[in-house]
A and B are shown apart, each in its own frame.
Chain A
Amino acid sequence: MERRRASTVPGYAGHERDEDAEDTGQRTARDQARAATDDLAALFAPQFRPLFRYFYHQIGDVHDAEDLLATTVSKALASIGRFDPQRGMFAVLLFSIARHTLQDFRRRARTHADIAILDPPPRDPAPPLDLVVLKDEEAHLLHGRVAQLPPGQREVITLYYFGGLKGTEIAAVIGRSEGAVRLLIHRALTALRDQYRREEQA
């Protein structure tokens, strides 16, 4: 923004001046501001997409998923100073926050969440043009089937496939053993397989 500043030079105040917005000083300031956030961006940016996928396949609403992503990142940024990479993995911190954020969201919007869990999300008659989520029928059905899994299984499936976490990370996020996580994933996949078979037979 062109700024008209108070001046140390007599006669300048109140008069328009050419202020080249691209002068060296401003570039330097912007570069420094950018550099100051680069390390955090490098840490967080790769997690935006997994977080969105995790939220979206948990609640089935694009805009809510985006809001939850932003909320999670804000919370994580607020506590980043306490994060010790020697003691934990960043993804675990982030998805632990994400999980709690999702729980809060569901408590606040119970009705909405229940509908999302119980029913495959209705197809948006006019989805945003740039939205590629669930673009084909098969993907849409699979999304619905995941939503109908028992909560524990749905949790590990979404963390594993959509959040991109490893078994050890999921175990840390949900506070279970790695063996329990493996068992939940196995059961979830088996349940999805059985559901497919039942539908084929029907």
Chain B
Amino acid sequence: MNDREQHPEVQRDDPSIAAIDAALRSLADATDLRPTFLDAYLPRFRREALHARTAAAPIALRPRVTRRRWHTFLGLATAAALVLALVGGAFWWAGKPASVSAQEVAARAEQAASGGVPSLHSYSYTITSHFPAPGPQGGTSDVEYRSWYEAPDRLRMESYVKSSVAPDEPNVINIQDGAVRWEYLPSQRRATRKAPTPVAATFGNARDVQTLLASVADRNKDVQLRGTTTIAGREAYVLAVTPNPSPGSVFPPGSTTTLYIDKETYVSLGSETRDARGTLVGSSTISNLQINRPMDASRFTLTPPAGAEVVDDTHQAVPDAATYIRQLGDASARAEFTLLVPTNVPAGLAPRAPLADTGLVALAYAPAGGAGADYSHDAPPLTLTERKTMREDAEMPPGAEQATVPGSDAAWFLPQAKMPTGFTVGPRLVVMRGGTTMTLAATRAAFSKEQLVQIAASLQPIAKAAGVSAAPTATPAVAPQNAPLSGPALLTALRQGGYVIFFRNVQTNDETLETSLNNPNGSCSPQRNLTDQGRAAARAIGDAFRALHIPVLQVLTNYRCAAIVTATTAFGEVAPRDELIEPTDPSDTAGRARTAQAVRTALGKPPSPGTNMIVIGQQSLLTDAVGPDVTLAEGEAAIFAPDGTGGFTLVARLLPEQWASMSPGA
């Protein structure tokens, strides 16, 4: 408003009018759009603008050229002549063979595949992929994909496994509308809301077109134009491509792939691959194609059906330890075999939510901080698939070699290999143990045989009891009361972090008469101090943490010497906190309540991902905070799982000597 014109009718010589004028300008400046509205509205505006661009192109934003009447007549005559010429030319052109070269079609198809089709603002289609040969996981693979896309960020994709028992029911539906992304699994009635990711604007199997054309050695020789045809009602070039059979290529040696390239947009409308003998090894066919048609907005929204499980995965890339343990417990309870979980997971990898069914459990490990708990559409570096052992599992496939995995009944290793269909699979280790067959699969060459064997050697069974606890065959040392975690499961959980561990001070000298509860001057003489036995216990706890690779974020204490010395002896560090200081007067109930609240706050606060928080103090601190039910021995730990809302659950208790016994080799 400040730089707008001064209206001549505003009488600024009248102070009252001038003041009102200024007040109105000020009011205008103070009236502003909410940033939250703009955040929500601008994507909608961009979509509508894009449609307007399509519907009204070219937009008449340029000044109109005015002509005199005779100019108009001349213009009309010229236009008529041009139309006649064009029509005549079109008839002539229709009878003429295509003069475009194979190389030009290939170049344009490559450009279109890389997203270079600005005229594609919306599309929908169905692609049916057919592969007569068995895939790497057995069986033929016929999949139908139905996609709807609207620029810039709306997408819906449904996939149907036609060879499944429910060929007409989508096995997964992915929907994204701007900042909202959903995945719905109809068979599991589970809707997962996910963090939005960039929406690909490329068409159909564009990535494969790029890969195919990039693997051609000589386009003048290996790319041929074989006329035109009609696909899904659109004219298409027929382009035959013979890729270079270089080592590692995903195309079968000697194969030829025929691409059907849309004449107008140069996007791929389908393909067909045949091996050197002319046998079909795979095809994809597009149908129900619609381009630049208005889209029904409801296509891009998902309302989870009544009764469906709704999971919010927008913020949590990796399930927290407590959640993961619960998921493992659920999977174990459901499985018809003994679930095995590795306790030795490669550094930097974190578990994703397990996929569990009666007959199959899949565990996946992907980089911590990676996108989404889901891995059904990503390729995690390491997946562990488990099922009930079958007789033929011990039969090694061609190319496999025996493997020795401690504790297993049998094992074999298959190096990275190219399957008969041309698909390259990463190395995998198959382990049979106690009626469970596990396949440890690495994408590409992410892990060596030795690494996979190491992981398999750390497998520990998860019992089928309610919750999660170690099976009888697992480390039997720990049998906590009222605590659902123990043994390898507890170790796995602690390695993944997310817990707050409260240690009662290790043994102290009861004979010392305490004259000061705190240590403001750095002197411990007026307090009870650790006995030699207590110091040894503290050292043993610290040694066990280091040996078991249990990550520790921080060690919180108050200023009592026993706590500080326990912390420094065990962990070599300490972070004293004023709020954990108990009142010197035991009758100071308000002060004790404040301290108890501080302890509860510490127990309920999730530590940074992948770490655990330690609190060391005397029993009275814990009793005031959680009540008398959790009474610890000296040096005993109570392990709490914060729930993220300030609450916490006791999941395990461990005596000092029990830490070391959690080691898989113990």
Contacts and interface: CB of A to CB of B under 8 A. Distances in A.
A139 B30 contact: yes
A192 B10 CA distance: 12
Interface stretch (B123-131, B219-227, B618-626): B123-131
Nearest to A190: B17
Q: Interface residues of B toward A: which range?
A: 35 or more
Contacts of A186: 9-11
A39 interface: yes
Contacts of A167: 5, 7
A49 interface: yes
Contact of A82 (B34, B60, B159, B161): B60
B293 interface: no
14 contacts: A6-B204, A6-B205, A10-B423, A14-B129, A19-B207, A25-B200, A39-B59, A40-B49, A74-B48, A80-B56, A83-B61, A85-B62, A134-B30, A139-B23
Given A6-B204, A9-B212, A15-B136, A164 B4 contact: yes
A25 B50 contact: no
A18 interface: yes
B263 interface: no
A2 B371 CA distance: 10
B252 A10 contact: yes
A4 interface: yes
A89 B439 CA distance: 69
A7 B17 contact: no
A59 interface: no
Contact of B118 (A5, A15, A36): A36
B70 to A, nearest CB: 21
A165 to B, nearest CB: 9
A24 B37 contact: no
B200 A133 contact: no
Contacts, number: 298
A29 B16 contact: no
A25 B129 contact: no
Given A3-B157, A162-B31, A11 B131 contact: yes
A85 B61 contact: yes
A24 B115 CA distance: 8
A9 B49 CA distance: 37
Contact of A1 (B196, B209, B419): B196
B133 interface: yes
B450 interface: no
Contacts of A81: 52, 55-56, 59-60
A16 B28 contact: no
Interface string B413-426: 00000010111000
B486 interface: no
A58 to B, nearest CB: 12
Contacts of A17: 207, 379
B39 to A, nearest CB: 10
B105 to A, nearest CB: 15
Nearest to B120: A29
B53 A40 contact: yes
Contacts of B392: none
Contact of A189 (B21, B159, B257): B21
Interface in A1-47: 1-19, 21-22, 24-30, 32-37, 39-41, 43-44
Interface string B186-224: 000000000011111110111111111000000000000
A56 B155 contact: no
B112 to A, nearest CB: 9
Contacts of A37: 46, 49-50, 53
Contact of A83 (B37, B60, B121): B60
A100 interface: no
A27 B115 CA distance: 8
B207 A5 contact: yes
Classify the interface of chain A: helix, strand, loop or mixed: helix
Contacts of B145: 4-6
Interface string B14-48: 10110011011111101111111110010011101
Contacts of A83: 59-61
A167 to B, nearest CB: 6
Given A26-B198, A185-B9, A186-B9, A11 B204 contact: no
A49 B52 contact: no
Contacts of B64: 84, 86-87
A44 B49 contact: yes
B205 A5 contact: yes
Given A1-B155, A26-B200, A186-B10, 9 more contacts: A1-B197, A3-B174, A9-B273, A13-B284, A26-B198, A29-B115, A41-B46, A81-B60, A134-B30
A28 B157 contact: no
B282 A11 contact: yes
Q: Interface residues of A toward B: which range?
A: 35 or more
A183 B30 contact: no
Contacts of A142: 23-24, 27
Q: Which of B10, B24, B199, B252 has the most CB of A within 10 A?
A: B24
Contacts of B379: 16-18
A6 B129 contact: yes
Contacts of A40: 49, 52-53, 59
Contacts of B202: 25-26, 29
Contact of A77 (B14, B48, B135, B151): B48
A198 B270 CA distance: 79
A8 B271 contact: yes
A109 interface: no
Contacts of B51: 77
Contacts of B36: 128, 130
A95 B377 CA distance: 48
B20 A28 contact: no
Nearest to B54: A36
Contacts of B115: 24-30, 32
Interface in B90-115: 113-115
A49 B32 contact: yes
Nearest to A5: B205
Q: Which of A14, A22, A37, A69 has the most CB of B within 10 A?
A: A14
A22 B115 CA distance: 12
Contacts of B34: 62, 66, 128, 130-131
A99 interface: no
B152 interface: yes
A25 B206 contact: yes
A77 B83 CA distance: 31
Contacts of A10: 131, 133, 252, 273, 281-282, 421-423
Nearest to A8: B271
A8 B34 CA distance: 48
A9 B282 CA distance: 7
B78 to A, nearest CB: 22
A128 B51 CA distance: 32
A161 B27 contact: yes
B410 interface: no
A161 B25 contact: yes
B118 A21 contact: no
A51 B53 CA distance: 22
A193 B20 contact: yes
Given A1-B197, A8-B208, A32 B17 contact: no
Contact of B31 (A9, A87, A133): A133
A157 B51 CA distance: 34
A152 B527 CA distance: 85
B185 to A, nearest CB: 14
A103 B48 CA distance: 23
A90 to B, nearest CB: 9
B243 to A, nearest CB: 10
Nearest to A143: B27
B165 interface: no
A34 B648 CA distance: 47
B122 to A, nearest CB: 11
Interface in A160-202: 160-162, 164, 166-167, 182-183, 185-186, 189-190, 192-193, 196-197
